[in-house]
Structure 1
């Protein structure tokens, strides 16, 4: 991966928070009665939307890379329990990308653009993708599938963990292991 796994959440959550705060501040400027301030706010808002879109494209690329690499590892790919969550994440990435592209183009067109002045586009390209993404996770709740018992442990970790067990201890309940 091009970002260390331990930093993925931090990088993308911070990116989301920063772009969200910039969008909020820029929206306040864009709503100003002063034409110059309003134009500056619109430009900042569009820049924040573009940064958010690029960030989410990178996240989606990481999901694609992970899925591709996991599919080439038979021991991991055979563990069927995690695949529904993986495919749900992929579906949600597609839905969020549709929404992000729509919002970026919508704000790029300005206040009188076709996308902003026709509600059907908002319903189909902003609202519907989010509803579908949320609905999928209400049906496929991750904590029902992901649990400590099902974690995948690399072989070198198993050797270290097993060496600390007494001869009467077992390593049951750990799920299937790599290799």
Structure 2
């Protein structure tokens, strides 16, 4: 199982680094998340630290920008359309509507947009000019393979445009 996971993480990190100029991750408190017995096995099995290490190394190798934002940014709580913070949302809340502007969000896609738009104070890798294709809508990998209906068309549109 370990070899399969390592092989998958190697292939995924290589694919992402080849496709994108900039890779931004959130500095998650993985050790704290593992203390949650509902998440512990899923998080441990994924090898998040290994994935981050592979991405950092390959970003440097391929001359890509690699950034990490603070775990304290309210990426899942803040509306990516208007910036309104409507309060803490439990992990079980996968979709929500902004109380301020009425925008409907998938939690993970909204977080990806907020992560992309978060100002970075310090970068790990200097910005370099590399010609690659950048998607208009960020795509975030998720533990949960669900996408909100309102966001499905954006992903489909992006997939067909890049084909």
TM-score between the two structures when normalised by the length of structure 2:
0.24
Instruction: Specify which structure has the higher proportion of helix.
Output: 1
- Which gives a bigger RCO, structure 1 or 2 (Cα 8 Å, sep 6+)? 2
TM-score between the two structures when normalised by the length of structure 1:
0.22
Larger Rg: 1
